[in-house]
Amino acid sequence: MTTVAPEYCPVARTLNLIGDRWSLLIIRDTFDGICRFKDFQQNLGVARNILSDRLKKLTDAGILAMKPASDGTAYQEYVLTDKGEHLFTVIVALRQWGEDNLFREDEPHSVLIDKQTGKPVLPVALLTEDGDILSPSETQVRKVTQ
């Protein structure tokens, strides 16, 4: 794979925004239905100041949005925006990589399932236009010029 200068690299830009542990775990938890500050803090065990900083950063970047609490209380809830929803495949890919590479076969762990069938979702894969799976050696990075 060709290395691209950081100013042109979407991976570098993405990691600058969401590449720290807490941001990724907040996004993961939001996909799992957590939406309130106290629930993020309780689930993640993160310090309040760090959580506040990451939630602000993700909100300012348009990944999360704040809305009034769904139960009518004075609380605010954090919800994924369309931009945030587009990170679902990223979170699933990280989850699946962890399932495949960080657990022994006999070690309990979670798995993402299809709610309708109850079966594990298929592995995330890059496909050609014809539906064939692409390997890393079959791709290359090309700088887009205007």
Map residue 127 onto helix, strand or coil: strand
Tell me the pLDDT band of 70, cut-offs 50, 70 and 90.
Answer: confident
Q: State the Cα–Cα distance between residues 140 and 8, nearest whole angstrom.
A: 14
Which tokens belong to 130?
Answer: 């014809």
pLDDT at 9: 86
Q: What would the DSSP string read from start to end of 64-79?
A: EEEEE-TTSSS-EEEE
Domains defined along the chain, listed by start: 6-138 (1.10.10.10)
Mean pLDDT, the chain, integer: 93
What's the rounded mean pLDDT across residues 95-122?
A: 94
Q: Is the pLDDT reported for residue 82 higher than 70?
A: yes
Q: Residue 121: how many CB atoms within 10 A of its CB? A: 13
pLDDT at 119: 97
pLDDT at 1: 43
pLDDT at 88: 98
pLDDT at 2: 52
pLDDT tens sequence across 84-93: 999 999 999 9
pLDDT tens sequence across 16-51: 899 999 999 999 999 999 999 999 999 999 999 999
